[in-house]
């Protein structure tokens, strides 16, 4: 697996180190509601500082910036207080994201750790970040001596800060991203059974690659959340006003035909009009959570599981009355003996809300990135890291320490 260098392979003493983190954290009323991604990045940042880095320049995106008004609500400035608290040191906030203004900001900053403003501010200039503009990537690469990729949650994005920048600088991987890869590969490559996949959330399209990649390896596929209604509609049930991914009805129908014995769907659901069995949903009703009988069914399917990969919630968790199914299923998994990998994004936030943060084998910091990796679709960053280890040589620091 390790065909690229880790941060431990570099001599960081006196170097300017760029670390591409993922600080795209949820914010409500100006406050961070889930700081897991920030907390998990601290090990890499501290390692660079403890090993003599002259400067540590942190880069991340936050949200989507499509117009000028989007900048204020997606500023990374909100991260600074928590970052300073975790590092126990001051952090300079760099307001500009490119050009001479950025270079001047960095030159005039006094502290060793510097957090750049949201890289997606550059999307206001011909989408330079999200379109992976090579000139922008090349410009950012000049800011440091070494670049470390630790933003696993953005690893599926071919953006200037996650792709082209790394092509123009010696680079390696940080502890957070390395742990993510190691944990995912370990649980998917084990041979313990029963192996159960739990899928929820809204869109079937987001999960197709994962399902296709793991359906033959798993013993049971449990499907809840809004995506279950696409499967139910594919089987001929009336799902009322429930969310349906109509473009993938045929995929669901074919999957059920081929793997009916492996797939477990809801028996009853909580609608806006109370609990209904799946054959009694009315035209004006919307399914918003799995029902009590389905909770029992899913728990039975999970009772003897040895490995579980769970991604997605069972209902509309933003409303407490529709979070019961998710709370029950993830609570059950937390108290089980199974090795459980929990997908990131909304799933990680829900688990955090349930007070279950430290109860699983691994909670991923990636949302879409985790799904892509589980689906066998690796972002270009990993090929770039591999290429860098060939171009610049691997284990430079270790070879030096060994007298090579």
* Backbone CA torsion sign across 373, 379, 381, 387: positive
Q: Where in the chain is the domain with CATH 3.40.50.1260?
A: 7-177+378-401, 180-374
User: pLDDT for 168-216, tens place per residue?
Assistant: 999 999 999 999 999 999 999 999 999 999 999 888 988 999 999 999 9
Q: Do the strands 263-264 and 91-94 form a parallel or antiparallel pair, or are they unpaired?
A: unpaired
Residues in the chain: 404
User: pLDDT for 94-129, tens place per residue?
Assistant: 999 999 999 999 999 999 999 999 999 999 999 999
User: pLDDT for 128-160, tens place per residue?
Assistant: 999 999 999 999 999 999 999 999 999 999 999
CB atoms within 10 A of CB 96: 15
CATH fold of 180-374: Rossmann fold (3.40.50)
Which residue has 């949200």 as its token pair? 63
Which span out of 60-64, 182-186, 341-345, 379-383 was modeled with the highest average pLDDT?
60-64
Kindly list the distances between the CA atom of residue 232 and the CA atoms of 108, 217, 227, 264, in Å, as whole numbers in the listed order: 60, 23, 9, 11
Kindly state the DSSP code that residue 162 receives in the 8-state scheme: I
Local confidence band at 346 (pLDDT 50, 70, 90 cut-offs): confident
Average pLDDT (13-25) is 97
What residues are annotated to the active site? 37, 203, 345, 368
User: pLDDT for 357-382, tens place per residue?
Assistant: 889 999 998 888 888 888 887 789 99
Q: Does domain 7-177+378-401 have CATH number 3.90.79.10?
A: no
Instruction: Determine which of 145-149, 254-258, 353-357 has the lowest per-residue pLDDT on average.
Output: 353-357
- The whole-model pTM stands at 0.89
């Amino acid at each position: 697996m390790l065909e690229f260098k880790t941060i431990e392979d570099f001599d960081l003493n006196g170097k300017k180190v760029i670390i591409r983190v993922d600080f795209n954290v949820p914010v409500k009323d100006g406050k961070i509601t889930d700081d897991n991604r920030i907390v998990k990045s601290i090990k890499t940042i501290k390692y660079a500082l403890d090993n003599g880095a002259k400067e540590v320049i942190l880069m991340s995106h936050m949200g989507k910036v499509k117009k000028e008004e989007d900048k204020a609500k997606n500023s990374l400035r909100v991260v600074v207080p928590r970052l300073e608290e975790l590092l126990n040191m001051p952090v300079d906030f760099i307001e500009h994201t490119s050009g001479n203004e950025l270079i001047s900001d960095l030159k005039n900053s006094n502290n060793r750790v510097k957090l750049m403003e949201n890289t997606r501010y550059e999307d206001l200039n011909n989408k330079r970040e999200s379109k992976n503009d090579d000139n922008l990537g090349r410009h950012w690469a000049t800011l440091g001596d070494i670049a470390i990729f630790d933003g696993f949650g953005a690893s599926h994005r071919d953006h200037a800060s996650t792709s082209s920048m790394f092509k123009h600088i010696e680079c390696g991987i940080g502890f957070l991203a390395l742990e993510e890869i190691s944990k995912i590969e370990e649980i998917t490559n084990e041979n313990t059974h029963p192996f159960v996949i739990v899928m929820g959330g809204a869109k079937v399209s987001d999960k197709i690659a994962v399902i296709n990649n793991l359906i033959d390896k798993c013993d049971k596929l449990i499907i809840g959340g809004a995506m279950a209604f696409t499967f139910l509609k594919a089987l001929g049930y009336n799902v009322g006003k429930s969310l349906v991914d109509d473009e993938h009805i045929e995929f669901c129908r074919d999957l059920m035909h081929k793997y009916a014995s492996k797939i477990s769907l809801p028996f009853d659901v909580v609608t806006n009009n109370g609990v209904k069995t799946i054959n009694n949903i009315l035209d004006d009703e919307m399914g918003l959570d799995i029902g009590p009988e389905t909770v029992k069914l899913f728990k039975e399917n999970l009772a003897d599981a040895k490995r579980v990969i769970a991604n997605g919630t069972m209902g509309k968790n933003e409303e407490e009355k529709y979070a019961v199914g998710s709370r029950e299923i993830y609570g059950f998994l937390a108290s089980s003996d199974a090795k459980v990998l929990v997908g990131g994004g909304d799933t990680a936030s829900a688990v955090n809300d349930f007070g279950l943060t430290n109860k699983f084998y691994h909670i991923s910091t990636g949302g879409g990135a985790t799904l892509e990796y589980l689906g066998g679709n690796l972002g270009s960053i990993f090929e770039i890291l591999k290429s860098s280890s060939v171009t610049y040589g691997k284990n430079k620091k270790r070879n030096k320490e060994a007298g090579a």
